[in-house]
């Protein structure tokens, strides 16, 4: 693909002051962290609340049911990307981010107060599905709007670094959920209390934090890119988006391998360490907490590196090492009984995966002009994540239940291989960014 010719940068007198720029990025990122905490609280506490909604004597079957509900939310993510992406390109990134966090609040609150299967029968899992669908709509819109907002607020020579900072919020959301789980496990509640009623605590906290994020975001500045595009009459539309079908396909190709790897080493890994490696609850939580801290620290470092050497080398690192190492890493993990060995192996996996995660937001934003950027980033990303990300737990547990767990290792490798083929042909978006194009 021939790289686009970069447009002239915004005039200096229209750029946001450094202080307000950094504040806007920090506020947007913290709000994003809170949204992702709400999502990951479901995965972190699934081992405890699954019996309340899915009565079964088989723990794997219970987790498979919980994983199916987790995946169901991803079905509506593309719809969220469409609605919120259009809203962000027509009415502003700030307004879209305010509505998305409000919707997340309702989803978390509904889970916190949902009755159990013993109380209302089949209505219990139905309410759980409804709550997850609300969260899915919110997340479908959050990704495109928040990634676009960060990319447009950041200085051109530091966009990779801020992309890494932004991705720490995705990991930080799960880190916060895992840290809360560890505190409840070790300090405040017994395992029986966690299974009985304690699993409601993280969702009640999530609803309150979403309200806090709403108040934080109400004072955010709109981006200068959006203001200039709107004043030039370049508002987003479906017709304008169709003209960028090549870029839409590129987002899909870029995302397939990265999203499958990300969810393998975040949401699924907790269950893998429990059900396949055989660690106890405290060991699982401690290992997950430890490697998430490592992953969080890697993101801004990799992002800053991309500002110096470009985006493509990091994608090629992830794609090549992911294809070569995924099957051996997961195989060694399944065979070890040591928490320390498991921690080391997963940290090595994050050294690979961070080549994608740290820069994924900025790469996609750099592919589109301002008028359709939120739609262009959000819609194909949400569609791809719904197919290849949100289904990771369900796919992996299905392979395990069938007695062929290693089949998932090959599946994850194949997803990364597809993306590697795209990375090989992709132009470096740092050198050919379309960030300054409005139409």
Fold of 16-425: Growth Hormone; Chain: A; (1.20.1250)
* Contact (CB, 8 A) for 150 and 242: no
pLDDT in tens, 297-320: 999 999 999 999 988 999 999 999
* Contact (CB, 8 A) for 299 and 164: yes
pLDDT of residue 15: 47
Measured between alpha carbons, how far is 146 from 36 in angstroms, rounded to an integer? 12
Measured in whole angstroms, the distance separating CA 157 from the mean position of its chain's CA atoms is 24
DSSP 8-class letter at 157: G
Is the pLDDT confidence value at 359 over 70? yes
Helices 245-263 and 339-357 meet at what angle, rounded to 10? 170
- The two tokens of residue 35 are 């949204």
pTM for the full predicted model: 0.78
Measured between alpha carbons, how far is 393 from 413 in angstroms, rounded to an integer? 15
**3-class secondary structure, 197:** coil
Burial of 369 (0-12, 13-18, 19+ CB in 10 A): buried
pLDDT in tens, 13-38: 344 455 566 666 676 677 678 777 87
Is the pLDDT confidence value at 168 over 80? yes
Reference 28, options 169, 135, 159, 171; nearest CA is: 169
Q: Which residues contact 169 (CB under 8 A, 6 or more apart)?
A: 29, 30, 32, 33, 36
- The two tokens of residue 314 are 């990091």
Reference 159, options 310, 296, 19; nearest CA is: 310
Exposure pattern of 370-388 as b/e (b: 16+ CB <10 Å)?
A: bbbbbbbbbbbbbbbbbbb
pLDDT of residue 417: 96
Share of the chain above pLDDT 70, in %: 84
Measured between alpha carbons, how far is 6 from 178 in angstroms, rounded to an integer? 42
Reference 145, options 79, 220, 81, 233; nearest CA is: 81
> Which ranges in 15-92 belong to alpha helices (H)?
18-44, 46-53, 59-75, 77-91
Mean pLDDT of the chain: 80
Phi-psi group of 233: left, alpha or beta (phi > 0 → left; psi -120 to 50 → alpha; rest → beta) = left
Is the pLDDT confidence value at 8 over 50? no
> Which ranges in 188-265 belong to alpha helices (H)?
191-196, 201-217, 224-231, 238-242, 245-263
Domain residues of the chain, as ranges? 16-425
Reference 197, options 35, 45, 39, 40; nearest CA is: 45
Average pLDDT, integer, range 211-222: 74
pLDDT of residue 323: 96
pLDDT in tens, 325-353: 999 999 999 888 888 999 999 999 999 99
**3-class secondary structure, 71:** helix
Helices 123-153 and 159-183 meet at what angle, rounded to 10? 150
* Contact (CB, 8 A) for 289 and 343: no
* Contact (CB, 8 A) for 55 and 114: no
pLDDT in tens, 30-71: 767 877 787 788 877 877 887 777 776 566 667 777 777 777
Is the pLDDT confidence value at 363 over 90? no
- Whole-Å CA distances, 328 to 193, 266, 395: 38, 18, 19
Radius of gyration of the chain (CA): 21
Q: Which residues contact 324 (CB under 8 A, 6 or more apart)?
A: none
């Amino acid at each position: 693909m021939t790289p686009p010719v970069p447009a002239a940068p915004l005039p200096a007198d229209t750029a946001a002051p450094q202080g307000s720029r950094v504040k806007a990025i920090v506020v947007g990122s913290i709000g994003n962290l809170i949204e992702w905490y709400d999502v990951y609280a479901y995965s972190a506490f699934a081992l405890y609340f699954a019996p309340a909604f899915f009565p079964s004597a088989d723990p794997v079957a219970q987790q498979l049911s919980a994983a199916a509900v987790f995946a169901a939310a991803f079905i509506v993510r593309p719809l969220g990307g469409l609605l919120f992406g259009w809203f962000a390109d027509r009415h502003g990134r700030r307004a879209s981010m305010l509505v998305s966090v409000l919707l997340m609040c309702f989803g978390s609150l509904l889970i916190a107060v949902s009755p159990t299967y013993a109380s209302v029968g089949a209505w219990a899992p139905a309410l759980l599905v409804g709550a997850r669908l609300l969260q899915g709509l919110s997340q479908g819109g959050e990704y495109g709007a928040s990634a676009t907002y960060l990319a447009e607020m950041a200085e051109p020579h530091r966009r990779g670094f801020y992309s890494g900072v932004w991705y720490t919020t995705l990991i930080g959301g799960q880190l916060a959920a895992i840290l809360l789980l560890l505190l409840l496990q070790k300090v405040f509640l017994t395992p029986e209390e966690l299974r009985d009623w304690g699993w409601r605590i993280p969702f009640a906290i999530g609803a309150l934090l979403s309200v806090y994020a709403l108040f934080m975001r109400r004072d955010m500045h709109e981006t200068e890119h959006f203001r200039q595009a709107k004043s030039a009459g370049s508002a987003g539309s479906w017709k304008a988006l169709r003209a960028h079908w090549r870029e839409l396909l590129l987002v899909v190709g870029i995302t397939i391998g990265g999203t499958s790897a990300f969810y393998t080493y975040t949401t699924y890994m907790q269950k893998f360490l429990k059900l396949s490696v055989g660690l106890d609850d405290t060991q699982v939580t401690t290992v997950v907490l430890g490697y998430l801290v490592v992953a969080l620290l890697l993101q801004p470092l990799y992002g800053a590196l991309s500002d110096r050497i470009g985006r493509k080398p990091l994608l090629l690192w992830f794609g090549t090492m992911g294809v070569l190492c995924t099957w051996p890493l997961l195989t060694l993990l399944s065979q070890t009984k040591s928490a320390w060995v498991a921690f080391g192996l997963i940290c090595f996996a994050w050294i690979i995966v961070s080549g994608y995660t740290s820069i994924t937001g900025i790469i996609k934003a750099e592919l589109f002009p301002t008028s359709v950027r939120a739609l262009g980033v959000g819609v194909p990303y949400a569609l791809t994540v719904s197919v290849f990300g949100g289904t990771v737990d369900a796919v992996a547990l299905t392979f395990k239940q069938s007695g062929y767990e290693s089949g998932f290792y090959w599946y994850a490798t194949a997803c990364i291989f597809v993306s590697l083929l795209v990375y090989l042909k992709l132009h470096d978006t740092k050198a050919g960014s379309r960030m300054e194009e409005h139409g």
